[in-house]
Amino acid sequence: MAVAEQVSSKKNYLTALKEAVFEEMQRNPDMVCIGEDIGFLGGAFGVTEGLKAMYGPERVIDAPISEAAIVGVACGMCLNGKTTLVEMQFIDFISCGFDQIVNMTATYHYRTAGEVNMPMVIRGPAGGYGGGALYHSQMNEAWFANSPGLKIVCPSTPRDAKGLLKSALRDPNPVMVYEMKELYRQNKIAEEVPEGDAALVPIGQASIRREGDDVTLVTYGNNVYHCLAAADNLAEEGFSAEVLDIRTLVPLDEATIIESLKKTNRLVVVNEAPRTCGFAGEVLARMSEEAFEYLDAPPARVTRLDTPVPWVKPLELYVLPSVEKITDAALRVCKF
């Protein structure tokens, strides 16, 4: 079958991730998966359902509840020639494996003067909007963006979920994949997803989700859909918004953002991590350094408040970015 014809029926975000895992396990006999309940249960959300039955307990490893042990074992397997896919049952608990990630996994290539690779992917469900409260709603990607040696991706569509995960599993060094659990089973965003190598999405390349002329909305993950809805609101006010999904945080595709700003001259960055030291601030800082000459108004950011995510729905929505908050911020920038 020609590459152009390798398109399956529409898939949701969860099914696309599952396809990526199964395809890469089949392609690479040296790939192993490790995590809590990924074999027996198929993962908390079903991404690895059926994987153990197909590939056995030596390649699909149910680990104890110790993220430090999971990442440490995965690091050792990588050093012995394996490509290792690590699942965090919830990305919130990645802090328990923090030392193994930032001090061991991220630094290994550097510490060996480039002689040793660390082909590890750490993936897991992240983000709020689902009533998960403070222990199941975090976006802690900025912790790891501050750790040289790690790549970080955050797909917003089924096609990108599959394509970026496949690309991550072919990268010779560690990649972290933040999966939006609120998007897992949203069939309204289901789309046709290519099979095999045709599905690959390059790491480090942003995507323009909507073209516009008056303001650039830079975002990723679940907030892409909030920005698209805000763009509809802005159109009713007579403003044309460009929605740019960065997809990869590290390395950041600065060139695509700058090209957009050359056209719109206004910038709003949106993410659901806390405001202080969040990745939205990093994007604003870089554009202030690299694209100041193109800005006709002070850039703005819309983020989570500097508070844990509440469980009660009205309070959760109060602290997280919303369509209304994005619309208001963009209008202020456009009317400056």
Neighbour tally for 48: CB within 10 Å: 25
Encode pLDDT of 115-172 as tens digits: 999 999 999 999 999 999 999 999 999 999 999 999 999 999 999 999 999 999 999 9
Q: What is the mean pLDDT of the chain?
A: 96
d(CA 59, CA 54): 10
Instruction: Indicate if 226 belongs to the active site.
Output: no
169 within 8 A of 120, measured Cβ to Cβ: no
Position 178 scores a pLDDT of: 98
pLDDT at residue 4 greater than cutoff 50? no
Q: Given this model, what pLDDT does residue 2 score?
A: 40
Active-site hit among 18, 59, 82, 136: 136
Contacts (Cβ under 8 Å, ≥6 apart) of 253: 204, 205, 206, 246, 247
pLDDT tens column, 264-319: 999 999 999 999 999 999 999 999 999 999 999 999 999 999 999 999 999 999 99
- Rounded to the nearest 5°, which phi and psi values hold at 48? -105, 20
Rounded to an integer, what distance in angstroms lies between the CA atom of residue 202 and that of residue 230?
27
Q: For residue range 161-171, what is the model confidence (pLDDT) as tens digits?
A: 999 999 999 99
Span 37-68, pLDDT tens digits: 999 999 999 999 999 999 999 999 999 999 99
pLDDT attached to residue 264: 98
What is the gyration radius of the CA atoms in the chain, in angstroms?
A: 20
Alpha-carbon 39 to chain mean position:
24
Q: How confident is the model at residue 9 (pLDDT cuts 50, 70, 90)?
A: confident
Fold designation for 10-199: Rossmann fold (3.40.50)
Beta-carbon contacts of 106 under 8 Å, excluding residues fewer than 6 positions away, are 144, 147, 148, 149, 150, 174
State the Cα–Cα distance between residues 185 and 15, nearest whole angstrom. Answer: 8
DSSP conformational letter for 277: T
pLDDT beyond 50 at 19: yes
pLDDT in tens, 219-273: 999 999 999 999 999 999 999 999 999 999 999 999 999 999 999 999 999 999 9
CB 58 within 8 A of CB 29: no
Is the pLDDT at 6 greater than 70, yes or no? no
- DSSP symbol at 88: -
Residue 77, SS3?
A: helix
Evaluate whether the domain defined by 207-334 bears CATH number 3.40.50.720: no
Domain borders along the chain are 10-199, 207-334
User: Residue 278 class from Cβ within 10 Å (0-12 exposed, 13-18 middle, 19+ buried)?
Assistant: buried
152: helix, strand or coil: strand
- Give the pLDDT band of residue 1 (cuts 50, 70, 90): very low
